[in-house]
Copies of this chain bind each other. A is one copy, B any other.
Amino acid sequence: MPPTSETLTAERILEATEDVLRRHGPAKATVVDVARALGVSHGSVYRHFRTKAALREAVTKRWLDRTTEELAGIVAATDRDPQTRLRDWLAALLEAKRRKAGDDPELFATYSVLAADAGEVVGAHLTELTDQLTEIVRAGVAAGTFTTPDPATTARALFHATGRFHDPGYAREWERPEVWDDFAAVVDMLVRGLRA
């Protein structure tokens, strides 16, 4: 049993929750399992997350945030050409998802189950991603590279048009070697459609 002297933080609980989910699967994992893994009472866990549902939502958000944080770096690199940043952002999203699905398929399946029950968390995640895209489109308009009267609608359309390359329902397609060619063909057409 791990030492209990270490301060019990929300982050430590979420780490343990992910381990428990990995071991037991989403159907069987309980708050008691999480508490046991941490060597604390389940009451201690409930002090940080008031319900099992709240704990599951928080661990799902943490999993989704890893992707958003990776991509934020591309949005922030405002010294780089918006068109390159758009391509890089979309490719990084596919690559992050492909890695998540391919490296640890069981955990990916677990989070797909959790995400289906966490509508608000997933909705906020999708909004965050399209907000990142909107920022890149806006930068392209400001630079005179892209033309659109409404960057937010355009960002939403870009996100929809590339769903095959980030929507978890397509995870099996990402293992196929031609996925990057398919991706390039779609992104080329979209970038041409955006050009000033």
Contact = CB atoms under 8 A, between A and B. Distances in A.
A190 interface: yes
Given A192-B193, A193-B192, A193-B193, A186 B164 contact: no
Main secondary structure of the interface of A (DSSP, over half): helix
A29 interface: no
Contacts of A154: 185, 189
Interface in A162-196: 162-164, 167, 169, 182, 185-186, 188-194
B185 A153 contact: yes
A1 to B, nearest CB: 43
A190 B162 CA distance: 12
Contact of A186 (B160, B167, B194): B160
A63 to B, nearest CB: 21
Contact of A190 (B167, B169, B193): B193
Nearest to A194: B189
Contacts of A162: 161
18 contacts: A153-B185, A157-B186, A157-B188, A158-B189, A160-B164, A160-B182, A160-B186, A161-B161, A161-B164, A163-B163, A167-B169, A188-B193, A189-B190, A189-B193, A190-B190, A192-B192, A193-B193, A193-B194
Interface of A: 153-154, 156-158, 160-164, 167, 169, 182, 185-186, 188-194
